[in-house]
Structure 1
């Protein structure tokens, strides 16, 4: 009887171990399937993020290149304007120097000297105003270009 009881207990234990083994293998298969699905999802998501990062970097580089080109054009325009302003100041100086040339009348000569001084002051004022306007234009152009570049970069990141 003890032998039969041991045989039945052994058979039950064997059946139990077989059930545990089958359950473990089923769970292992499900676990492996889940790990595989997660790995695939991570790879897909990583590829999507890399593609998006590259698109954004390319857009940011394009914005920077456009801003540099616009800055170069603005500096070229400023140099041309400075040259034109320089020519204008030279001509104003020449005009101021000739403002007092009145031959003959001594009273007119005195008035001419006063007119020459006034013309020289106005010429100097014109030169200073033109130089300051050039400085302000350069600062404005730089700020405008930087603002547009910032706006464009922000737009490329949000779309």
Structure 2
């Protein structure tokens, strides 16, 4: 029995050697394939990271451009609002001058209506009161119109600024 084993031993060794060689070839193939896939995944990851950086840089540039456009619009709008405020101040000075002139005129009319005749004195007192009321109504109307014009100018300036800011976002 031992002679049979001795005769079969070279064949068993050859089969084991062939199996070992096949396993080595298989293991080498698996290792090579894994290395190839790892290299491809690493390349893909690198490309993805580069694309991400490029996209972020492009979006940052767009955002900075939009912010600069909005800042310019805000500056222009503030200049418009400041110009409207200056115009309101100038109009208020002119309005104050007009009101002072109306007060002076009303006071002169009231003083000149001082009454030489009793029948004309009552009529002139009524006329004086009417002139004073008219002057007061004129002053109040002028003040209110000035206030409304100031509000309208500021609202217009803010509206134009908002519209321009919105339009700059579309670019």
TM category, shorter: over 0.9
2:64 pairs with 1:64: no
2:145 pairs with 1:125: no
Counterpart of 1:8 (choices 15, 18, 21) is 18
Structure 2: which 5+ residue stretches go unaligned?
1-10
In the TM superposition, structure 1's runs of 4+ consecutive aligned residues that sit over 4 Å from their partners are none
Q: Which residue of 1 aligns with 2:52?
A: 42
Q: Which residue of 2 aligns with 1:153?
A: 165
Q: What TM-score results when the alignment is normalised by the length of structure 2?
A: 0.87
Q: Aligned partners of 1:98 and 1:112: how far apart in 2?
A: 12
Report the RMSD for the aligned CA atoms in angstroms.
Answer: 1.4
Choose between structure 1 and 2 for higher RCO, CA contacts under 8 A separated by at least 6 residues: 2
CA contact (8 A) 2:88 2:150 kept: yes
Q: What TM-score results when the alignment is normalised by the length of structure 1?
A: 0.93
Larger radius of gyration: 2
Structure 1: which 5+ residue stretches go unaligned?
none
String of CA shifts for 1:47-93, please: whole Å, max 9, x gaps.
10111111011011111111111111111100000011111011111
- Please show how residues 7-156 of structure 1 align to structure 2 within 5 Å: 7-100=17-110, 101-102=112-113, 104-156=116-168
Q: Aligned partners of 1:115 and 1:36: how far apart in 2?
A: 94
> How many equivalent residue pairs?
159
Q: Aligned partners of 2:37 and 2:95: how far apart in 1?
A: 85
